[in-house]
Structure 1
């Protein structure tokens, strides 16, 4: 079974479409959507509708901090541009869509894997996995051999040996990485809708459950048109301009 991992879409229709198309071309059997479907981008209603449709077809979906803020009360720690985007987004969604976001689980376990937006130790606290210390803390909080996260917007992969030795490396797009179950693994798929690693191409990953391999992918899309759409919608200009450079 091949599971496509897509996270941090952030209301970016063009990036989401590009990732879904490539996932299907690579033979994805299931889709796992790791949160932050809204916030920042200009197409929240379309993206939420697509997520609802995919969930109805069997996709895994978990709640991100921006989804949580739109469905409830914004986190006071959000920066001003993010808060403005949350308020704008809430006005674009129906009551049914807001209810859908608010009811999404914080975490899901299937196939011996954990799917979560931020981390395993406190999913609703929205703390970031920024390095080895946080990665170890997250892996120690679950019995699952493979944990898949979003939230950080930069692809990363960590593993923990049976004797507690932690290692990490930066994945190369298109290269399958063996992730055998005798170790614990934590993968951050990167952001589909708002990459922050200097590459504007949308990020996603594919986990091959049978082969025990993980492949990170990048897919170009018309990010210039998407940036222009964000600005035209009246959202903070910086939210569109950052798409141009992947920052």
Structure 2
């Protein structure tokens, strides 16, 4: 089975639609959404409803820090993020807010752990920026395969014999064999606000048959998303950064 793994959609309908179309073309049979469905972008209600439909069809959906901030505001957010959360709170319906609030911080299934940040303290939303952060995660995780988001940049870490952590920079569309003798942590890029220098929407596909993981990028209509952000009165910087992928 091919499992599509998405993270950090951030209310970007155009990016979300482009990724879903690419998933269908590649034959993805199941979805994992690693959180931050909302925040930053102009279409939170649509993105939540689409995610609800995925969940009803069997998708695993995790709560991200922006999803949590809708019902539990975070004092650590920067001014642009807070402005987007304040606006989003006024746009979502009570049912949509309840859906976000009820999402789990992590989900374990077979040999896989899915979460938004990392396993040492999922509710604190630490970033995995380097091998040290990955080692902290591995120390608190029993599963062989882990998938997280939050960073908006794709990365891959492996823990070998003795606990040594090796980092890899994944290449676009090049399948990576997740060798059985290692434990793996994949940091999935962002659908709706990539920060890897490439403005195209990012996600990954896990092929459970071959044991391979592919990091993918999909172009989308950034002009339309940016125009919606400005029309909503959200900070211009949230529109500008989409064109640069930063």
Matches within 5 A, 1:29-48: 29-48=29-48
Which residue in the other structure is 1:125 paired with?
124
Instruction: Tell me what 1:61 maps to.
Output: 61
SS at match of 1:163: helix
**2:204 equivalent in structure 1:** 205
Say which SS state the counterpart of residue 135 (structure 2) adopts: helix
Secondary structure of 2:38's aligned partner: coil
- Structure 1 residue 126: deviation in Å? 0.7
**Structure 1 stretches (4+) deviating beyond 3 angstroms?**
none
SS of match in other structure, 1:91 = helix
Q: Which residue of 1 aligns with 2:195?
A: 196
Return the TM-score normalized by structure 2. 0.98
| Secondary structure of 1:32's aligned partner | strand
Q: Distance in 2 between matches of 1:165 and 1:126?
A: 23
Residue 163 of structure 1 deviates from its aligned partner by: 1.7
Please give the root-mean-square deviation of Cα atoms over the aligned residues, in Å.
0.7
Offset from partner CA, 1:118-155 (integer Å, 9 cap, x none):
11111100111010001011012111000000000000
- TM-score normalised to structure 1 length: 0.98
What secondary structure, in the 3-state scheme, does the structure 2 residue paired with 1:239 have?
helix
- The unaligned stretches of length 5 or more in structure 2 are none
> Structure 2 CA distance, aligned partners of 1:98 and 1:243?
26
Deviating more after overlay: 221-230 vs 82-91: 221-230
Deviation at 1:196, TM superposition (A): 0.6
Q: Distance in 2 between matches of 1:33 and 1:215?
A: 16
Deviations 1:32-53 (A, max 9, x none): 0000000000000000000001
Gaps of 5+ in 1: none
